[in-house]
Chains A and B, each alone.
Chain A
Amino acid sequence: MPKYRCTVCGYIYDPEQGDLSGGIKPGTAFEDLPDTWVCPECGVGKDMFEKV
């Protein structure tokens, strides 16, 4: 599963890690993140991410 990078702040979403602060379990693909999910560092939406 590919990683995705926040184009605003540089945070990397790693599907193997998930995002525990945002309630996302490890093993969740970026595509499967809910539309309401936001970057845990800077708060912008999924549309601001690009595939690494």
Chain B
Amino acid sequence: MICEISKDVFWVGAVDWSVRHFHGHTFNTGSGTTYNAYLILGEKITLIDTVFGPFAAELLEQISGIVPPEKIDYIIANHVETDHSGALPEIMRAAPRAKLFGTAKCREGLYRHYYASWPFQTVKTGDKLSLGGNKAVTFIEAPMLHWPDSMFTYLDDGQVLFSNDAFGQHLAHSKRFADEIESGILMREAAKYYANILWPLSRLVIGKIAELRKSGLPVSLIAPSHGMIWRKDPGVIVENYARWAQNRPAAKAVLVYETMWGGTEKMAGAIYSGLLDAGVETAMFDINRADHSEIIGQMLEAGGYLFGSPTHDNGMLPNLAGFIHLLKGLRPQNRLAAVFGSFGWAGGAVKEIEKILSESGLALTCEGISAQYSPDPRDLEACRNFGREFGRKLIGAYK
């Protein structure tokens, strides 16, 4: 189906309904994703990005429905990563006269992916490329949003910002526009994407949004490389990015634990009750049953994090350790944290987690709480009080 997203601009991407693990297993998708590529019919036929390699035939088929691929003059590579460049070898074969445009880091990166000597013109922020007639694109480098090579491309005709991975979502859908789908699902996916990919780069997000606003470029359409296209009020997602990047969370809590024989799980339940007593909206996850990408997504708006693990081999259990390692890399700022866990002898998990959280810049708010073997009613009452105390402090900090 041909989809014209703006005058002479066509979505020619692919919907991947099957992918569940992205970036290795760092990002789990609920429904799959899309690889958005766009074709501009100027006097110069221009392709913006490609798709993941296994979808190259779909991309070529989509293009062929509009124009013979050999007529492509320009290919703009906004990002090296293989989910957007993977189809390049096949496209370059199908479009032998095409010339590539990208940043200097893109040029290096594409070579290190494909070891091909394709015609390539390096571009910088502010460079313009005429597509003939009344059409021209302007390039905006976006280093580390989210790779060194990342770039946005702006098409003046129709005021379209091709933002690549910025403002995207891993969301497979038969619709193409954000305003065509339920907004709660959309924003949840956009937040999950931000949290899992862009969160550690928040300072750069703030700077890039300020730069775009200062440039005065009017934007009517934001066309990202994954998920839905922002057509009706594209400013909404920009505002949300600006807010998420500020790291000013709400007085909500996320409680994540791992358990062996259920002792730490009982503690988690009592702490959860205490948080509710304090009036704090709380989400609770057993790390071995919940999806880590979903948990990270929920952490974006929450100001309080609680972690629980029993002691095993003198430290925490390994799957919670992996999750905390993931969270540490995402560099959450301005969050309160507390730790709990059961133990058989000596203990060690609570202290180990507290040490890592401190090093990660999280503020330990209540002294960690432990219970030996299976917590008794007094232990559980202490856990409930621990939850209440944490909840009160959370409300004090963020309300």
Contact = CB atoms under 8 A, between A and B. Distances in A.
B201 A8 contact: yes
Interface string A15-52: 00000000000000000000000110111110110000
Interface residues of B, number: 11
Nearest to A9: B144
- SS class, residues of chain B in contact with chain A: mixed
Contact of B105 (A43, A45, A47, A48): A43
B141 interface: yes
A8 B141 contact: no
B232 interface: no
Contacts of A9: 144
B204 interface: yes
Contacts of A45: 207
A48 to B, nearest CB: 7
A48 B204 contact: yes
Contacts of B201: 8
B147 to A, nearest CB: 8
B203 A48 contact: yes
Contacts of B144: 8-9, 42-44
Interface residues of A, number: 12
Contacts of B141: 43
B203 A43 contact: no
A3 to B, nearest CB: 20
Interface string B3-14: 000000000000
A10 to B, nearest CB: 12
Interface in B98-116: 103, 105
A41 B203 contact: no
Contacts of A47: 207
Interface string B190-207: 000000000001011001
Nearest to A7: B203
A39 B144 CA distance: 11
B148 A43 contact: yes
A29 B293 CA distance: 42
A44 B144 CA distance: 7
A44 B204 contact: yes
B148 A42 contact: yes
B311 to A, nearest CB: 32
B167 to A, nearest CB: 20
Contacts of A7: 203
Interface in B289-338: none
A48 B105 CA distance: 18
A36 to B, nearest CB: 10
B54 to A, nearest CB: 29
Interface of A: 7-9, 38-39, 41-45, 47-48
Interface of B: 103, 105, 141, 143-144, 148-149, 201, 203-204, 207
17 contacts: A7-B203, A8-B144, A8-B204, A9-B144, A39-B143, A41-B148, A42-B143, A42-B144, A43-B103, A43-B105, A43-B141, A43-B144, A43-B148, A44-B204, A45-B207, A47-B207, A48-B203
The 4 closest A-B pairs by CB, nearest first: A43-B143, A43-B148, A42-B148, A42-B144
